[in-house]
Amino acid sequence: MQRKNWGGLAVAQFSWLLALSAAFPVFAQQDVIEQARGLLSSGNPKQAYMTLLAVQDKHAGKIDFDYVLGVAALDSNKYDEAIIAFERVLAANPRHAGAKLDLARAYYTSGTYDLAEATFLDLKQSNPPPLAQQTIERYLTALGERKKVSRPGFTGYGEMGLGYDSNLTGVPRDFSAAVLSAFNLPGVDPTGNSIKRSAAFMNAAAGFDYYHPLSRGWSAFAGGDVRGRGYRNEADFNSASAEARFGGTLNQGPQQWRLAANVQRFTQKGEAPGDPQPTNDRNLIGIGGDWRRTLDQKNQIGINLQVNRQRFPDNDVEDFNQALVAGTWQHSFLGKGLPLLYLSGFYSDDRAVRKLLDGEADKSKRVAGARGMVQVSLSTALQVFAGAGYTQRKDRSAFARATAIEFGQDRLADAAFGMTWKFQPKCGLRAQWLYSRNASNIDIYDYSRNEVSSTIRCNFG
């Protein structure tokens, strides 16, 4: 009978146990990383962060662990912790592009804009893949907007465009039938502003803003815009507008405040009957405040409050005072094409200043609306977009716009499709098609409209 080598067997078993115990931390690290990745992919970054945080003392300093910890912290709005984790990754591997990109995002979201810009520019020089290039360009554009309010100097733009408007006066297909329905007046033919007109047009605009930093994040600004549109063979409907504005901005890292006052002037002769002939001119004076906050690297929200005084020099029954509130939400996706989703909504209460000729009715109204837009980047220079909006108007006064309809209600829907091409670092071409349809229970305000246009815009400063 062969004698067993108990001593050798014991040594072999001990060696196996020793190897297993040495490998166990590696297996444990991989298990917790995979668990955290699963939580991140299922949209639960806070749980992923807490899972990794519980074992951070054992695995901190290991590249894979620190990178996933940084992503979880960033998606959980733990910006300082994310920055520390990504910096540990880059200390071990300075060429880790993912950690550098996410570090730049963390700097940006936390409001450390100088470090964010330097990190993004460093990444840009490393010839990253197309998706990363698009991400970097988007952040650098946003950083440029933030920087202009923190440094003294001018920024501005100029643009020129061509287009075609299928219904520049916004009138129904059958004006005579619409007048009969709204006012019980048969046989009224359209004249002047009531004639449906279509025409090609040219437009141009220019504007500037000057920013001057004050202290503790405050900056003062002043600026203005001028715009004009001219129609082919419809000179009476050419229009021009000018705006002047001034105010202050407060930059508090992930949130920004803006207070402003503005004055606007719009002129258009039109073809309304009368002697002297009334025009479509209007003037506006407004004050407002705007608040925006970056929630994380993907989401930004905003609220705007505005009070306006709008006057029509040649048609004072249209004069009104307006209180408006609006909200916005912007979401950036990090997948292919870097889709950008923008949603907004508003409500305004427009109080008429004067009564109509009957001494009872006026043109007070309530207006509410919503809009959505999606943009997808095909390259760093080319984006396509699509948007849609809906606005509803309700008259507050009986028989304000018609004698046969007590309370007018309008439902305006529109859709837009187009593309933007950045053919120079500060110049781009925007081409779009816009369709709008106003459905009203007062037929005289029921119309549809198509507009196609292309505009070149260049920025400076």
Q: Return contacts of 3-6, CB within 8 angstroms, 24+ apart.
A: none
The vertex-251 CA angle with 119 and 102, nearest 5°, equals 25
**What count of other Cβ atoms lies within 10 Å of the Cβ of residue 457?**
17
Contact 400, 356 (CB under 8 A): yes
- Residues 304, 410, single domain; the answer is yes
pLDDT of residue 6: 45
Encode 427-440: b = buried (16+ Cβ within 10 Å), e = exposed.
bbbbbbebbbebeb
Q: Which residues of the chain have pLDDT under 70?
A: 1-30
- Residues 256, 356, single domain; the answer is yes
**DSSP string of 208-242, one letter each residue:** EEEEEE-STTEEEEEEEEEEEEEETT-GGG-EEEE
pLDDT of residue 144: 79
pLDDT of residue 171: 94
At residue 88, what is the residue type? Answer: R
Contact 386, 376 (CB under 8 A): no
- Residues 132, 169, single domain; the answer is no
Look up residue 143 and give its two tokens: 């950083």
pLDDT of residue 412: 98
Q: Tell me whether residue 162 is in a domain.
A: yes
- Residues 205, 84, single domain; the answer is no
pLDDT of residue 15: 47
pLDDT of residue 226: 98
- Residues 430, 377, single domain; the answer is yes
Helix axes 97-110, 130-147, angle to 10 degrees: 20
Q: What are φ and ψ of residue 220, in 5° steps?
A: -100, 150
In CATH, what number is assigned to the domain containing residue 200? 2.40.160.40
User: Of 147, 167, 196, which residue is a domain's last?
Assistant: 147
Domain encompassing residue 293: 153-460
In CATH, what number is assigned to the domain containing residue 68? 1.25.40.10
pLDDT of residue 367: 98
pLDDT of residue 30: 63
